Chains A and B, each alone.
Chain A
Amino acid sequence: MPKSASGLTRRDLMMLAGAGATSLALPFPRPAFAQAQPIKVGLLLPYSGTYAQLGEAITRAMELYLKQNGGKLAGREVVFVKLDDEASPPKAPELTTKLIEGEKVDILTGPVHSGVAMAMTKIAREVGIPTIDTNAGANIITRQQCAKNIFRSSFSNGQVGLATGKAMLDAGIKTAVSFTWKYAAGEEMVEGFRDTFTKGGGKVLKDITVPFPNVEFQAALAEIASLKPEAVYSFFAGGGAAKFIKDYASANLQSSIPLWGPGFLTDGVEQAVGNAGNGVKTVLHYADDLDNPENKAFRAAFNEAYKLYPDVYAVQGWDAMQLLEIGLKGVGGDVAKRDELCAAMSKASFKSPRGPFRLSSSHNPIQNFYLRELKDGSNALVKTVATEFPDLTTGCKLSV
């Protein structure tokens, strides 16, 4: 390469200056907010990809709650900082840091995906920021890795499994096959189910799995048919759940081997499965037609705001706000008092659209579980199968 005397041209130097300027501008220091500023609540949720619908439902409920309270909680103005987590665990540490340190949020909420939650809660634990998990069900978050500043407004995978196993025993089922995606959420839900089901005298003939997020179920259906259990306990979610329910129905298995599962099997896909889902029985901490005033009011308000009815994810977002409000009231809106705020939240007890809500020593909800049956595109409440039902607190050293 020929070299000029200086090696640099004028254009080169200008570009050089530009490069230097860019590198110094990074990454956007923002002013810290004084006490008079609004409380910032970070929402680390999926707004794109397969879980986007869940992220949207949680966000809408939270925004509705805030709107009903005139944009204020405990007398302080509250603003949301939304960040798309893409349901991508490798990005989760980065995005969590962005919310906590870049956006300087006071409270952290989200996510949907358990892998994202693993990363998010780890950082939150280290930093000590009050955090509410609005969906992700990984057991570890409120078991071994519980922390005084980490709360859950949703459920743990094991808890839902435990409740469903109980419901199936109550229905007189003695043999079952479990079928789920081969990943942590599926395995934890099966583990919980197996726990209560076998302790109560039931027998699990086989645990069948397909790789996540594979949706080719025919091979497994053939195997289920050959095992002839009294029922199938199965967990899928979203598009995969819709496809499984339809495949199950079109294999004509539903009449001979009824399909059971945690509520996520049918939630959000009621319309997508149509008639194919008739008769699918699921257990969840919420049912659309719960007969309590909180639920009726919540559904009416949500429908008025968004022209659609809320689902369980929306309820979890709504209750995250209730929980937060109690915490903020406990410290008079002073988010700097993190310990007191967390202490107030851990003692919270309120009426949720899902029924009574309070927290266990490991900060997982103690809540009712309901048996629902899918009929013509909606989950109809059958009965309450467990009242004020706690999750295990295995490995958690927190005490009330």
Chain B
Amino acid sequence: MLTRPRPLVLAVLAALLVAGLLIPAFGGPYAVKFTTRFIVFAIFVLSLDLLIGITGLVSFGHAMFFALGAYALYFVSSTSEASNALVAFPAAMLLAGLVAAAIGAVAVLTRGFYFIMVTLAFGQMLFSLFFDTKIAGGSDGAYIYIKPAVSLAGVTLLDLDHRTTFFFVCLALLVVVYAALLAVARSPFGRVLQGIRWNEGRLAALGFNTYVYKLLSFIIAGAFAGLAGVLYATIDGYVTPDLFGWRQSGIAIMMVVLGGVGTLFGPILGALSFSLVEEVLKTESLVGPIATNWSLALGVLLIATVLGAPRGIAGWLEPKRGAEAAAAPVPATARERRPMKGKAIETEGLSRAFGGLIAVNDVTLRLAPNQVHGIIGPNGAGKTTLINLLSGALRSTSGRIRLDGEDITGWAQHAIARRGLGRSYQRTNIILPFTARENCLIAAQARHPEALRFSTRGYAKEEATEAAYALNATGLAGRADTVAAHLSHGEQRQLEIAMLIASGARLLILDEPLGGMGPEETGRVTALLRDLSADHTVILVEHDMDAIFAAADTLTVLVEGRLLAHGSPQDIRRDPAVRKAYLGRFGENEAVA
């Protein structure tokens, strides 16, 4: 998770800020203008890093919001008097944000490479719109004749036509935007965005509506890009449709990657070094004949950076997050144990077909609260499909599902999760780059999953307590500050259970929680599952017959998608149909063991 910048980083940023403040005094007018332009680009790439680095949405059309911001100034400006920056700047953010909302609503449906291409396509569409039509000056661009001023109640406070004034305004805005985006990224809202970057499925299964989160991130990034755009247009008073082009978006991505993805401060350094390198390479009086082949030289430098410093400039300033074994203490008795009623779940004629194959066939089942329910069956019996149906990861073909009497058939996964259903997966599904504690904290946050939470206030204590409780319960307290990727396989599986506990789920569906565990760990986790049934309902799919017979209160046997038997472990052990159809395959002795 994004931490507060370490002292070295803050010191570098402070040094840059001081250098920036000195420029008007020592640098001359060109230096002021050059730096202003760099600052504007820094704001732009910062907003892009919120998308790329924090949320994991690689947008290849981010320049469109920059361009919209720039054109917003054109729209609000007249030829006779200066527009008011206090109107123009928010208008730019509003225009860019509104368009981002409309485009994002569609684009966010896709992911990965498709998202890259959809954003590229929307950028090109807007480019064509401004290039081909006369809505704003057409292909050659348009002028803003009078630069905006900051005025209040008719009194002009700051004239942005004055270069040094404008420079300080931009510098102040850069600081504000950096602080704001850092705060957003580290807020409960931003934590979810970071989680989405690494494991969107997990966040959805915890009950977060990831679509809404991604869309909000897209809108916020768009609005800040719009702010950068309106500043750009203020510098020289010229806007051109080429601002929408994919090359502009591409260069912004370059700056982000060069600086260090997902660090927020990195892209600022990326923008600075990219601007400086290009400036130097194109200046004949400095580099001589290389200036003729500046793009070749720039290309070679970029390749060297990618191959030599894959984490960008930020990689030099910030150590890679390693296994940090020394854990800050986790309070041993974080909270008192509160016996709670688990949630009951029942199905009625539930079926799911994949083409011609009926994976789950007319299953009617009632699973009582505060018990451990085992689901067993041979491979391909439809166990995983069944729990995918229960948790909403799959839609049923027919039949109903009720959770504590409430019909949840056809609900989205996150909506069902919010009703208290938590699930784990066959392949461990946690957020690998986060520590165990961070994983649990983000899960605890699912207790209040509304998207627009920018402050930890109110719930911070509750969430810390719940996370600590979950870590203790699963025996991970000593590993709380270890990055999940560095945990052992067994620990990772326990962490997933810890996340479900922290999330406040009252019905846990666990898909092979014992998979790959040694005997000792198996014993511990089995005991944990028994223990959990005091305040949860637990549904268990497991191949370890000894463990599941020991742990479960009831067993459900599926064969070829049909419900073969349901009852206590003793009943199931004695059931001749089960023995014939399923347990027989393991041999008589094993079955009775």
Contact call A119/B238, Cβ cutoff below 8 A: yes
- The CA of A62 and the CA of B20, in the complex, are separated in Å by 39
A30 within 8 A of B: yes
Contact call A26/B37, Cβ cutoff below 8 A: no
A88 within 8 A of B: yes
* Chain A residues within 8 Å of B33, by CB: 97, 101
Known: A27-B34, A103-B285. A84 touches B294 (CB 8 A): yes
Which among B22, B35, B238 is the interface contact of A93 at CB below 8 angstroms? Answer: B238
Contact call B235/A8, Cβ cutoff below 8 A: no
* Chain A residues within 8 Å of B18, by CB: 20
0/1 interface trace, chain B 1-40, chain A, CB 8 Å (1 if under):
0010011100110011011101100011111011101000
Contact call B285/A30, Cβ cutoff below 8 A: yes
* A158 CB, nearest partner CB in chain B, Å: 13
0/1 interface trace, chain B 429-459, chain A, CB 8 Å (1 if under):
0000000000000000000000000000000
Question: Which of A84, A90, A94 has the most C-beta atoms of chain B within 10 angstroms of its own C-beta?
Answer: A90
Contact call B7/A8, Cβ cutoff below 8 A: yes
Contact call B286/A115, Cβ cutoff below 8 A: no
Known: A26-B34, A28-B286. A89 touches B8 (CB 8 A): no
* B64 CB, nearest partner CB in chain A, Å: 13
* Chain A residues within 8 Å of B31, by CB: 26-27, 29
Question: Which of B238, B292, B295 has the most C-beta atoms of chain A within 10 angstroms of its own C-beta?
Answer: B238
Known: A19-B16, A27-B35. A115 touches B30 (CB 8 A): no
Contact call B30/A89, Cβ cutoff below 8 A: no
B240 within 8 A of A: yes
- The CA of A145 and the CA of B143, in the complex, are separated in Å by 10
B242 within 8 A of A: yes
* B434 CB, nearest partner CB in chain A, Å: 13
Contact call A115/B19, Cβ cutoff below 8 A: no
* Chain A residues within 8 Å of B571, by CB: none
Known: A7-B8, A101-B33. A27 touches B279 (CB 8 A): yes
* Chain B residues within 8 Å of A1, by CB: 3, 6, 321, 324
* Chain B residues within 8 Å of A119, by CB: 141, 236, 238, 240
Contact call A7/B29, Cβ cutoff below 8 A: no
* Chain B residues within 8 Å of A98, by CB: 30, 34, 279, 282
Contact call B37/A94, Cβ cutoff below 8 A: yes
- The CA of A6 and the CA of B237, in the complex, are separated in Å by 47
0/1 interface trace, chain A 1-33, chain B, CB 8 Å (1 if under):
111001111001001100110111011111000
A366 within 8 A of B: no
Query: Size class of A's contact patch?
Result: 35 or more
- The CA of A114 and the CA of B12, in the complex, are separated in Å by 41
B407 within 8 A of A: no
* A223 CB, nearest partner CB in chain B, Å: 18
Within 8 A of B (CB), among A104-149: 114-115, 118-119, 122-123, 138, 140, 145
Known: A26-B35, A83-B282, A115-B139. A122 touches B237 (CB 8 A): yes
* B130 CB, nearest partner CB in chain A, Å: 11
0/1 interface trace, chain B 130-158, chain A, CB 8 Å (1 if under):
01100000111101000000000000000
Within 8 A of A (CB), among B138-192: 138-141, 143
* Chain B residues within 8 Å of A12, by CB: 7-8, 11
* B304 CB, nearest partner CB in chain A, Å: 18
Residue of B nearest to A114 (CB): B140
A397 within 8 A of B: no
Contact call B235/A26, Cβ cutoff below 8 A: no
Known: A2-B324, A16-B15, A183-B139. A122 touches B35 (CB 8 A): no
Question: Which of A23, A29, A48, A82 has the most C-beta atoms of chain B within 10 angstroms of its own C-beta?
Answer: A23
Contact call B238/A27, Cβ cutoff below 8 A: no
* Chain A residues within 8 Å of B11, by CB: 8, 12, 16
* A143 CB, nearest partner CB in chain B, Å: 13
Contact call A88/B8, Cβ cutoff below 8 A: no
Within 8 A of A (CB), among B241-293: 242-243, 245, 247-248, 272, 276, 279-280, 282-286, 291-292
Within 8 A of B (CB), among A200-229: 211-212
B334 within 8 A of A: no
Residue of A nearest to B324 (CB): A2
Contact call A29/B27, Cβ cutoff below 8 A: yes
Residue of A nearest to B11 (CB): A16
Contact call B143/A122, Cβ cutoff below 8 A: yes
A305 within 8 A of B: no
Residue of A nearest to B144 (CB): A122
* Chain B residues within 8 Å of A26, by CB: 19, 23, 27, 31, 34-35, 276
* A318 CB, nearest partner CB in chain B, Å: 22
B317 within 8 A of A: yes
A47 within 8 A of B: yes
* A112 CB, nearest partner CB in chain B, Å: 13
Contact call A212/B16, Cβ cutoff below 8 A: no
Known: A102-B30, A103-B285, A115-B139. A48 touches B19 (CB 8 A): no
Which among B20, B131, B240 is the interface contact of A23 at CB below 8 angstroms? Answer: B20
Residue of B nearest to A32 (CB): B28
B326 within 8 A of A: yes
Contact call A101/B29, Cβ cutoff below 8 A: yes
A184 within 8 A of B: yes
* Chain B residues within 8 Å of A3, by CB: 6-7
A81 within 8 A of B: yes
Contact call A89/B236, Cβ cutoff below 8 A: no
Question: Which of A15, A24, A27, A93 has the most C-beta atoms of chain B within 10 angstroms of its own C-beta?
Answer: A27
Residue of A nearest to B131 (CB): A183
Which among B7, B235, B240, B279 is the interface contact of A7 at CB below 8 angstroms? Answer: B7
Contact call B238/A118, Cβ cutoff below 8 A: yes
Question: Which of A2, A29, A103, A119 has the most C-beta atoms of chain B within 10 angstroms of its own C-beta?
Answer: A119
Residue of A nearest to B143 (CB): A122
The 3 closest A-B pairs by CB, nearest first: A7-B7, A101-B30, A93-B236
Q: With A1-B324, A12-B8, A90-B245 given, can you name 14 additional A-B contacts, CB distance below 8 Å?
A: A8-B7, A19-B12, A22-B276, A26-B34, A27-B31, A84-B294, A89-B242, A92-B240, A93-B236, A94-B37, A119-B238, A182-B132, A185-B140, A211-B131
* Sample (30) of A-B pairs whose CB atoms are under 8 Å apart: A1-B3, A1-B321, A2-B324, A3-B7, A6-B7, A7-B8, A8-B11, A19-B16, A20-B15, A22-B276, A23-B16, A23-B20, A26-B35, A26-B276, A27-B27, A27-B34, A28-B286, A81-B284, A82-B284, A89-B141, A90-B242, A93-B236, A94-B34, A101-B28, A102-B34, A118-B143, A122-B237, A123-B236, A145-B143, A182-B131
Chain A contacts to B: CB under 8 angstroms:
1-3, 6-9, 12, 15-16, 19-20, 22-24, 26-30, 47-48, 81-84, 88-90, 92-94, 97-98, 101-103, 114-115, 118-119, 122-123, 138, 140, 145, 182-185, 187, 211-212
